[in-house]
Structure 1
């Protein structure tokens, strides 16, 4: 038996998410039965998609059920196993949720190598955010050498990888981030050619200057005013990969642009959900791991301590309170 603690969704947010929407539950997890494994989670991933799951509105995935453990990616160590694919001491990544221990039949659980790469990186640049960046950039934007790619939320878990991959492809990368510190990190550490602070009173002018001869690709994570301003700078035949619209998750929806721009500039716009493309994950993770091992891929993390910190950490994530990947350290 394992003494477990977990956080469940207790109520659906009416407007903004609050700590009161969650509830801490203590229970016990039985020893694994035939084919099962028990994993002690070391890190929990917090991601913007979770906000959509908290709603019962129709979406691309089923809503998070009330009274059940919040969904979430985890990495941890196998502590008990009756599954021949896993042994105690193996490190694994999966969707263990907001809890200290998880039980699984092994499906959706993958062993990871922690000798050269930190365990938590499999929730960031070598996990879902990294694959999201890889797929959206390479498949939808497909930048050519010399083109200009704009990335919103440029220093976040997804955006930071997009910018670096765009540079590796020979493109010029422009970031949009919130605050001077993040913009300095984008240019000095991640290699962006320019970064514009969307909190600046001169944001529109500064974006115009950074765009130079125009933008050929947009990796959109935010929506709102940054997206509307980016549209004004698009070149003919630009491509837009819509990954997220976090500006409208807890506020007004992004205003619709003048649709003529998509026609007259022949713009390609495609929204995507990376879980629709599981066949691409092995190749993506292989390439990302190669970049990481060679020192070509950098990342940053915001780490909160303890399961109890998860609700507030998630709320902070929705309002830009993270610098890089948002994680909860469970052990």
Structure 2
């Protein structure tokens, strides 16, 4: 009996030790993730808190951690018609560019994935080469072209600019997604009487939904935060919101409160877009995705 009791106690202690180790590992993992989240989100907290401080308190050192919040900076932004115009410009231009780049890039990626085109690798490298050059190297040629075709300081010109920035990304990422979708799905659809276009619309696109929403998010963010092309290719009518935010940085002083308020307001559409798309992205990742064996 003593031996059986000792064996039972030993097994129970081993099980307890294993459960304890798993619990400690889980607690440590959550603690690390929580600490990393604090590190990542702290700049956003700093920015938002700076935008809610009264004038003169935003750049105090050491900073005031406890203060009475005020929306004075946001009221000034709303009252400034130039900010609202720039904000609307960015929403219109970036939204149109995302739609257009998907309409062009997704079918192009599908064709490159499904058809044996001559010099296909060279075509892909040529598409990618548009992202290899730094923006400063191509902004002057674009300026000359835009002036020649009366696209300077126009929303259409900036939409074309944003599409040219993101097109290579969409084509390369979506080609990888289409490569991972078995062609047997389209063949089965054609056996059921669907045309190739119907197979593309009803079979391939739903399976590639995670990739479509991913490139839509990235394209939106890249176009939304772009500054250099807006600085060179616009002057008044098509000024993006990034250029308006940049205007708070003067040669002799910086309006920290207004800069923080404008930057916080600029982040809001990105967050809303991510929240709206994340639901569909999660659904696309959970259903209908088949990877080639």
Same fold, judged at TM 0.5 (above): no
Higher strand share: 1
- Report the TM-score when normalising by structure 1: 0.22
Q: RCO greater where, 1 or 2, for CA within 8 Å and sep 6 or more?
A: 2
Rg (Cα) greater in structure: 2
Higher helix share: 2
- Report the TM-score when normalising by structure 2: 0.24
